[in-house]
Structure 1
Amino acid sequence: MSPVPLPPAVRAFLLANDVLAFLLELLALGLLAWWGFTRDIGRAGSLALGVATPLAAAVLWGLFAAPRARYAIPHAARLGVKAVVFGAAALALLALGHRIPALWFAAAVLVNTALASYHRTRS
């Protein structure tokens, strides 16, 4: 038996949520880079940290959390990887002195991930 097609409004909402998820992922990488480049550890050190931090997050994401991740892991473990990457990005924004935007970022990630997880576990 084939699955029941979703109404157009639900499909549009899910697509918008997926687009938001992608934008939040890009923002997380940008925040990690910004944090790394602004560390006062010397020019070469901050350059290395500004490149290595988002690169490590992107590799972790691609291996375990991406829609087409290299390794299939349980949903709870995937959520753990997302929590590490997004949590690090929120903490990076907090460390940069932007407390309220860090809270908004964390809240947006939480709502977006909860909605996506709910849909994926119900499908």
Structure 2
Amino acid sequence: MLALAKYANAALMFFLELGVLGSVGYWGFTLDSGWAIKLLAGLGGPALFIAVWALFGAGGGANATFPLTGLARAALEIVWFGGGALALYAAGVVTPAVVFFVLFAMNAVLRIVWKQV
């Protein structure tokens, strides 16, 4: 049963990672600007997040170009997932932003307790 919960927690992290990209893209396309700025933010924002994650955090650091561990990894995750929640908040959808951050916090605590980091 515990193994199933650990797999579910790992799957949740994957979906949260995708949620960050969707949140940042959504934020970009909800800006009060012209279409050029919306396209730049809506497509460029997720691209920037992808680049940072690929360089420093992919695969728990195992697939990253410059893998981070310890406090540096924790800071990256807080900025990454917090950025997703902040993007939702900036887009004006407060409840989903709070739910997103709470899910991230629960996921992070369980990954630490279950030594999935």
* TM-score, with structure 2 as normaliser: 0.88
Deviating more after overlay: 68-77 vs 100-109: 68-77
Kept in 2: contact 1:60–1:81 (CA 8 A): no
Kept in 2: contact 1:63–1:70 (CA 8 A): yes
Amino acid at match of 2:103: A
Note the alpha carbon deviations across 1:53-98, whole angstroms, 9 max, x for none: 1111111111112222222222211111111111111111112222
2:27 maps to 1:32: no
Within 2, Cα distance between the matches of 1:40 and 1:99?
18
Kept in 1: contact 2:57–2:64 (CA 8 A): yes
1:84 aligned partner:
79
Within 1, Cα distance between the matches of 2:74 and 2:54?
13
Within 2, Cα distance between the matches of 1:86 and 1:41?
25
Q: Secondary structure at the match of 1:71?
A: coil
2:104 maps to 1:112: no
2:95 maps to 1:100: yes
Residues 103, 33 of structure 1: alpha-carbon distance in 2 compared, 3 angstrom cutoff: same
C-alpha RMSD of the superposition: 1.6
2:4 maps to 1:21: no
Note the alpha carbon deviations across 1:7-60, whole angstroms, 9 max, x for none: xx2221111100010001101100100001111221111101111111111111
User: Which structure 1 residue ranges, 5 or more long, are not aligned?
Assistant: 1-8
* TM-score, with structure 1 as normaliser: 0.84
Within 1, Cα distance between the matches of 2:28 and 2:47?
11
Say how many residue pairs are matched. 114
User: What percent of counterpart residues are identical?
Assistant: 35
- Flag as ranges the 4+ runs of structure 1 deviating above 6 A: none
Q: Which has the larger radius of gyration?
A: 1
| Displacement of 1:115 | 0.9
User: Which structure 2 residue ranges, 5 or more long, are not aligned?
Assistant: none
